[in-house]
Structure 1
Amino acid sequence: MTLTSFTRTPLRLALGLALAACAGAAQATSITMYRDPNCGCCLSWLKHANEHFAKGEEKVTAKSVNSPNIAALKSDKGVPADLVSCHTAIVDGMVIEGHVPAADIERLLEERPKGITGLAVAGMPLGSPGMEAGERRQAYQVIAFGPNKRVVWATYPARDG
């Protein structure tokens, strides 16, 4: 059977679309977390994020980097001073400060709102990912931030254990 250019063009288009769809499905999530080596809760947060993004067929590349000058990194990445926590992660190019739930990060990566460069949970609230204490949780907010923008992304109410 001989293929003419009339039949080859749609075949090439279909093959190209199929390959593009496969490439998108296999895209890996990249998580690089910078932390003070003396802080123990950071690795628990990284485990939470890694487990969330590793579900299904998605591939995850997660690593922890001990950073002796983490304050400079936070400043360089545009983390507002009042939202600082114990670790800073870069997840697929977005800045994640502190104990942000992975579901909120996933939503950020899907939506990528204009003017937003990252999410933050200020401090180290009890019951947030990496700071688990049974069922008990302090109330906290996830804040979306950018150079000239700040909005409440999610709110987690207090819960008794």
Structure 2
Amino acid sequence: MFDRRKFMLKSLLALVGVNSLTAAATADDIEILVYKSPTCGCCNAWIEHLRGAGFVVRQRNVADVSPIKNRHGVPIQLWSCHTAVIGGYVIEGHVPAHDIRRLLDEAPDVDGLAVPGMPAGSPGMEAGDYREAFNVWTFGGDELEAYARYTDRG
């Protein structure tokens, strides 16, 4: 015999489970920890870029970010002004939020992403209409590979 209460209860529990999984995957639940100088304005602008994309950002102001970069194995040729960690990956410099999200979605076997230096037009380094071309690099072990390319035309 059909038990309507059991059916409704099972349906409700299934719906709650699906909603919980969906909620767990939202951007608001993705936390990133950013190490930066307390006086770096472009780092703060990058943090706002991440928040605008739905990331939960914690920041830790440090006098010298170099030890953090060394501890996480960021190659010196990829260094920038801030270093972040998220989901077991390292993010160096002004990496666009959608590339970080892509990294988390694809979960490649790399240590992280980097935008070396501080290219104009990258997130946090906006300079009016002026943009420099830049690459987002993956790194890990001895390998560097282009992950995304941004032209000076946007």
Common topology (TM > 0.5): yes
1:20-41 Cα offsets, whole Å, 9 max, x none, are 4322222201021100122110
For residues 121 and 52 of structure 1, the distance between their equivalents in structure 2, rounded to whole angstroms, comes to 18
For residues 113 and 125 of structure 2, the distance between their equivalents in structure 1, rounded to whole angstroms, comes to 17
1:26 aligns with 23
2:46 aligns with 45
| 1:78-97 correspondence runs (5 A) | 78-97=73-92
1:56 aligns with none
2:143 aligns with 149
2:117 is equivalent to residue 120 of structure 1: no
| Code of the aligned partner of 2:50 | A
Cα displacement (A) at 1:49: 0.9
For residues 101 and 85 of structure 1, the distance between their equivalents in structure 2, rounded to whole angstroms, comes to 14
Normalization by structure 1: what TM-score?
Answer: 0.80
2:150 is equivalent to residue 140 of structure 1: no
Query: Secondary structure of the residue that 1:26 maps to in structure 2?
Result: helix
Query: Secondary structure of the residue that 2:138 maps to in structure 1?
Result: strand
RMSD: 2.7
Q: How many residues in Structure 1 have an aligned counterpart in Structure 2?
A: 150
Query: Secondary structure of the residue that 2:34 maps to in structure 1?
Result: strand
Cα displacement (A) at 1:157: 1.0
Cα displacement (A) at 1:93: 2.8
Among 140, 155, 158, the residue aligned to 2:152: 158
Normalization by structure 2: what TM-score?
Answer: 0.84
For residues 95 and 30 of structure 1, the distance between their equivalents in structure 2, rounded to whole angstroms, comes to 13
Cα displacement (A) at 1:68: 1.9
1:90-146 Cα offsets, whole Å, 9 max, x none, are 123321100001111111110011x21210000000110000011210111000112
For residues 140 and 13 of structure 2, the distance between their equivalents in structure 1, rounded to whole angstroms, comes to 36
For residues 62 and 14 of structure 2, the distance between their equivalents in structure 1, rounded to whole angstroms, comes to 42
| Code of the aligned partner of 2:116 | A
Among 54, 58, 66, the residue aligned to 1:71: 66
| Code of the aligned partner of 1:39 | C
Which piece of structure 1 moves more, 123-132 or 23-32?
23-32
| Code of the aligned partner of 1:108 | L
1:109 aligns with 104
**Gap regions ≥5 residues in structure 2:** none
